[in-house]
Amino acid sequence: MSSTQSTRIRRDDEVIIIAGRDKGARGKVIRLILADSKALVSKVNMVKRHTRPTQDSKGGIIEKEAPIALSNVQYFCPSCKAGVRLGVKKLEDGRKVRTCKKCSEVLDR
């Protein structure tokens, strides 16, 4: 079963982590890495990176988001207050919008 483009998580979506170390954490999708089926989610799956001093910075340890598997991420529905699966609905004007499969709320404006 493959998910179509229209039911996918997108950039700027609010998501919840449903598995792994950061289970239960919520954040905004910063970037999708579709080739790897991964996403960068703000403040989730933080890793420490050591950086070398350069002309512009002193270097040291910075915290950065690491990509997380999309299979561990669900759309966070503001009405259900939970991670949900996405459905799709065709509007009268032909536009396709994503909906919450649980409460049927339209999620795209």
> Given the rule CB under 5 A, which residues bind Zn ion?
77, 79-80, 100, 102-103, 105
Return the number of the residue (8 or 102) whose C-beta is nearest Zn ion: 102
Q: Rounded to the nearest whole angstrom, what is the least distance from the CB of residue 2 to Zn ion in the complex?
A: 23
DSSP string, 29-82: EEEEEGGGTEEEETTSSEEEEEE---SS---EEEEEE--EEGGGEEEEETTTTE
Give 74's strand partners. 16
Q: Rounded to the nearest whole angstrom, what is the least distance from the CB of residue 82 to Zn ion in the complex?
A: 7
Return the number of the residue (96 or 102) whose C-beta is nearest Zn ion: 102
Q: Rounded to the nearest whole angstrom, what is the least distance from the CB of residue 71 to Zn ion in the complex?
A: 20
Give 83's strand partners. 76
Return the number of the residue (59 or 78) whose C-beta is nearest Zn ion: 78
- Residue 39 exposure: Cα atoms within 13 Å on the Cβ side: 26
Q: Rounded to the nearest whole angstrom, what is the least distance from the CB of residue 89 to Zn ion in the complex?
A: 13
Q: Which two tokens stand for residue 54?
A: 């350069």
Return the number of the residue (66 or 103) whose C-beta is nearest Zn ion: 103
